[in-house]
Structures are given as C-alpha cells and as structure tokens.
C-alpha cells in the first residue's frame, strides 16, 4: 500500500494497530482493521503518518511499561508512639478502688505508623498510552467499535421502597 505522497503503511502496522487498541484476534476484526487502513489511505493519505507516529509512541510506552518495576515498597511517612511514662511498677493494683486511682493508660503502649506508596511511573505512562490510543482512534474512528468494552464497575438494580 503506497500513496502518491510517499507515506505508506508498513508491514507490521496492522498487527500494531490490533495490539495497541486491544482488539481480539478474529478474521472479522483483522478485516475491519484492513478496511480502515485502506479507507485512510484512499481518503486521507497524510493521516497514515499520524497513525504510524501514534503506533511508534504506543510501542515505546509499552516497552517502558514492561521494563518498569512492578511494585515499590511502602515508605513510612509518620510514626507516633504512646507508652508508659516511666517503668512499670512491679506490683499492679489488685482492688477496684486502687485501679481507679492508678492511671492504667500509662501501661498501654500504642504505636501508629502511616505508610505511603511511592509515586509510580506506571500511572503516568498508562495515561500517556490512553492519549495516544485516543489520537489513533481519531485517525481510524471505525475501529472504536472493535475495542473490548470494559465491564461496568457496579451492577445492580435500583429499587424504591
């Protein structure tokens, strides 16, 4: 496939489009991608360069995502400790009246630690990838229907009582 302006599809672009958009492998979906590529070549040949550039960016982002560390260790952001103000006496109060007079909260030690996960580069790369996929779909809009739809997060039926 070549055009008058010298821009053409490369051999692996069909598969690159399929994997970038997450389109499942089937004869119908491969045919739809081929038709979308042919339509773009016929109607807007300059758009091929835009699509190829998007595919290259998506491939670079995918490569970065694959090499990114999976999970980072949590970082301690704050630690607070409550405990006995002094040494614990050898003999603790035994009668109810003695317990009321004795400050038992001094015997309890409470430790509170707050953790935070360090910022992951994966989130920003995933956002950049989504932007490139949207740019590719602007050039090849007919392929949007072939993308798998995400299941709704919450399903259920609302009923009034």
Question: Tokens standing for 71?
Answer: 């999970």
| 3-state secondary structure at position 22 | coil
The span from the CA of 144 to the CA of 135, in Å, is: 12
| 3-state secondary structure at position 5 | coil
8 A C-beta contact, residue 45 and residue 7: yes
Q: Which residue ranges in the chain fall short of pLDDT 70?
A: 1-6, 68-72, 82-89, 92-108, 117-120, 151-152, 155, 161
Residue 49, pLDDT score: 93
Residue 13, pLDDT score: 92
- At a CB cut-off of 8 Å and minimum separation 6, what does 128 contact? 57, 61
Residue 83, pLDDT score: 65
Residue 38, pLDDT score: 93
Say how many C-beta atoms besides its own lie within 10 A of residue 124's C-beta: 11
Chain segment 116-160, per-residue pLDDT in tens: 766 667 778 888 999 999 999 999 999 988 888 776 677 677 777
Q: Cα 21 from chain centroid?
A: 15
Residue 107, pLDDT score: 62
Residue 86, pLDDT score: 60
Residues paired with 111 in a beta bridge: 81
- CA-CA-CA-CA dihedral for 19, 131, 28, 24, to nearest 10: 40
Residue 3, pLDDT score: 42
Residue 1, pLDDT score: 47
């Amino acid at each position: 496939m070549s055009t008058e302006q010298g821009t053409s599809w490369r051999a692996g672009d069909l598969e690159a489009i399929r994997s970038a958009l997450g389109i499942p492998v089937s004869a119908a979906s491969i045919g739809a991608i081929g038709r979308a590529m042919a339509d773009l070549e016929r109607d807007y040949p300059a758009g091929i360069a835009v699509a190829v550039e998007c595919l290259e960016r998506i491939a670079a982002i995918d490569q970065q995502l694959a090499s990114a560390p999976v999970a980072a260790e949590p970082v301690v952001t704050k630690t607070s400790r409550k405990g006995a103000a002094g040494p614990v006496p050898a003999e603790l109060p035994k009668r109810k009246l003695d317990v009321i007079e004795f400050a038992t909260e001094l015997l309890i030690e409470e430790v509170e630690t707050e953790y935070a996960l360090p910022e992951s580069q994966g989130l920003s790369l995933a956002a950049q990838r989504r932007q490139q996929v949207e740019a590719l779909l602007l050039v090849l809009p007919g392929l949007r229907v072939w993308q798998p739809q995400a299941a709704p997060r919450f399903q259920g039926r609302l009923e009034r009582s």
